Structure 1
């Protein structure tokens, strides 16, 4: 069955992979991006080539009005939503907490926590049956850092993802009666460009060999898990936090 999905931060990495895999199922995808319009347009073209429909939607998740607008744009293009992937997030260069300034902390928490909560809130409003929605699924993108702590690298990022785990558990209990499943994935060392934004482009390769599976993961491997959680194949799964970490 064809679905309508909104993915935040879908122009690169895990979000892009999830969008392409959704397209391969014939789904319609709202491809949200913050600033890289070219990457978003390339993702849209790839989703269409895979067999789906897609539209690029600019919007910073730190902006409440932009979030509402991206939900509106997806539904105007394709109809009522079936699912939302709460994926947009950032990391800053590795540093112990003692060296982090207030601007960095605000940027991390405004994007990764407040932005994610606002997206989840809007998803709850759109999907809940008592509010006119048709039920569906929310997939929150957390991180293995939420349980590992990321010491001397980014405990701020790790803390922001811990909040996503708690959001997932609480919201799944709120929305279960509304026909909405809420789950999270915790990626581990995945080959995406987020590591470069943290100052260590080779981080996944260097540390990935230390996992039980002996390698870093790919964005597609995480994307497959996201699409499964969005699909009817996971119809009895809610409140789950799935590690996609190669055993790390």
Structure 2
């Protein structure tokens, strides 16, 4: 039986790595993109290969159109198809209040989180859509509970970018739903990954867990389960959904 093909952006660390590993176990071959940390990328790829997946690693910037196009071209060359796209790559930007944020703070976050994500969606649609001769597929965007909570006092620019992701998800779902493509998003809450340390707050999950109704932070694997559900045939009538994975927060 032919394995399906999934592209995971930012697919070698945190939620992306957990998604890649779970996808490999569930029968997907993979295109994994990453910006840095080559050793971690190789480690994730090796784990996926050990689970039976064929893996293509592509280094590049999720906010750079030429790098995005190169990843899709490589996918075409190696697999000749794409069945699922998981838009996971993104950054929080520096922790700042709006009054202190610069133009570059905003543009550096919106480029990968929104514009690059939209370009990834465009390229996936061009390959999946029945209107373009494709056989359909699924797109899962990794948004954030910050899209509703807002990120005020920490990452307002990040929260705003994820609000744009939510809007794009719903709009694109309605645009291509009749063309065999389902578009959904997961909205992770307080998840215990290295993104907090990268933003200068390594103890953020521990400090904020008391504000989660379930009393703890989530894991990357718990988010990955939601992503794989939305990408799977089990979610065949789920389109335009924004699925909170935040323990009730």
TM range, normalised to the smaller chain? over 0.9
Q: Deviations over 1:153-182 (max 9, x none)?
A: 010000000000000000001111110000
CA deviation after TM superposition for structure 1 residue 227, in Å: 0.7
Q: Are the counterparts in 2 of residues 61 and 116 from structure 1 also a CA contact under 8 Å?
A: yes
Q: Are the counterparts in 2 of residues 29 and 55 from structure 1 also a CA contact under 8 Å?
A: yes
More moved, 108-117 vs 215-224: 108-117
Tell me the TM-score normalized by structure 2: 0.97
Q: Are the counterparts in 2 of residues 25 and 51 from structure 1 also a CA contact under 8 Å?
A: no
Distance 1:50 1:188 in 2: 28
Q: Are the counterparts in 2 of residues 61 and 88 from structure 1 also a CA contact under 8 Å?
A: yes
Distance 1:51 1:220 in 2: 19
Tell me the TM-score normalized by structure 1: 0.97
Structure 1 residue matching 2:211: 3-state secondary structure: coil
Structure 1 residue matching 2:215: 3-state secondary structure: coil
Q: Are the counterparts in 2 of residues 4 and 79 from structure 1 also a CA contact under 8 Å?
A: no
The answer for the alignment partner of 2:32 in structure 1 is 31
1:78 aligns with 2:79: yes
The answer for the alignment partner of 2:110 in structure 1 is 109
CA deviation after TM superposition for structure 1 residue 50, in Å: 2.1
Structure 2 residue matching 1:209: 3-state secondary structure: helix
The answer for the alignment partner of 1:222 in structure 2 is 223
The runs of at least 4 consecutive aligned structure 1 residues that moved more than 3 Å come to none
Q: Are the counterparts in 2 of residues 25 and 52 from structure 1 also a CA contact under 8 Å?
A: no
Distance 1:128 1:100 in 2: 39
1:161 aligns with 2:162: yes
Q: Structure 1: give runs of 5+ residues left out of the alignment.
A: none
1:192 aligns with 2:193: yes
CA deviation after TM superposition for structure 1 residue 65, in Å: 1.5
CA deviation after TM superposition for structure 1 residue 185, in Å: 0.5
Distance 1:240 1:23 in 2: 24
CA deviation after TM superposition for structure 1 residue 100, in Å: 0.8
More moved, 13-22 vs 45-54: 45-54
More moved, 45-54 vs 224-233: 45-54
CA deviation after TM superposition for structure 1 residue 123, in Å: 1.1
1:88 aligns with 2:100: no
